[in-house]
Amino acid sequence: MREYLLTLCITAAVTYLLTGPVRKFAIVAGAMPEIRARDVHREPTPRLGGIAMFFGLCAGLLVADHLTNLNGVFEKSNEPRALLSGAALIWLIGVLDDKFEIDALLKLGGQMIAAGVMVMQGLTILWLPIPTVGTVALTQWQGTLLTVALVVITINAVNFVDGLDGLAAGMVCIAAAAFFMYTYRIWYSYGIEAAAPATLFAAILMGMCLGFLPHNMHPARIFMGDSGSMLIGLVLAAGAISVTGNVDPDNLFGGSERSTVHQMVPVYIPLLMPLTIIAIPAADLILAIVRRTWRGQSPFAADRGHLHHRLLEIGHSHSRAVLIMYFWSGLIAFGALGYSVNAASMWIVLGVVFLSALGLVLLLLPRFTPRAPRWAEAFVPPRYRRRRSAELAAEAALAAAEGAEPQPRTPVAVGVSGVNGATAVGSRSRSAR
């Protein structure tokens, strides 16, 4: 555990320290696009934050390669090199998109190529545990297609949710933390060394997100851009594919193959389907594709219909919308983790139900804005004062009735005469004409 924490801290430190210079470089390079209709920030903000995250990934892998226990991951498996190859390719595509806004289909092709590069180096799904059937070995082309599909879906899910300051980095960090706890348990509790690469990937991913978050929290000083969002999506998918493709469920429990798979079904839910860990971005991705296709638009055409945009429209502030998305991501990720550990515990189910009800209350909070009593109005912000709210409502109704906005009250000048007075009247008359 200490070596994982050291790797995490080194990755976070390198990412954090490099983000400042990268921000200056992005400004000089002109990677500061104009404000678009779908954006929620007020001022042009530099992108290319993925540069710092990529070098944080490289630093984490380099440190892990020189540690006593983690060095075995590089000696016994080619997956770290496969991850680095795919990450470098997807990172280059993201950097070009942050600077030059490349075509969406070109990015999709690059994502598929990056996934194919990882498959060629051994990072692929070899078998699947299927209920009532058992462990099903996949053919080479089946494993390749499934691996590429999972990588592309996860990358775009993270990319679509990257719409608010600190949202994508925080949600992926939560997913990586839950995934790390699962894979660490598989390795050390059951002695399955095949889970070691995925555990390392999760620790490095947490470090990348934690190092970038201080610069990206609202108000953000820099955005990760596609160079960052696609990168962390690929790393998250690589960890899930590594465990799903290499850990044989027959080695974890005794008994027949069929009973083993039945016991492992709740555990393998977040591994076979990485979208369960990042269920919120996945739901956002599916809704966006359906919405845009229904309108006759391209599935990759940007709009303001994402979940985080809807939270802002309901009345949540920027920070509160991000925290609500964090809450739901953590509930789903750690709920799945708890269910995988003890699926028979009723307390886990009751806890998830209670927290879900709490989450619904938080979603509807703007509709239940509290009002302070009259004696406490002097001690609360204006939006909680009944009298002030009534005055604003009356002024708005009067302005709507008159067909004009309410004018601010200004003092009337007394004693103005002569040339100045005539000039003022004349200027108003000319403006009226």
Residue with tokens 């976070």: 12
Q: Assign residue 124 a region: left if phi > 0, alpha if psi is -120 to 50, beta otherwise? A: beta
- The answer to the question of whether 226 is labelled as a binding residue is yes
CA atoms lying within 13 Å on the CB side of residue 162: 28
- The answer to the question of whether 159 is labelled as a binding residue is yes
Rg (CA), the chain: 27
Instruction: Write out the binding residues for Mg(2+).
Output: 159, 226
Instruction: Write out the binding residues.
Output: 159, 226
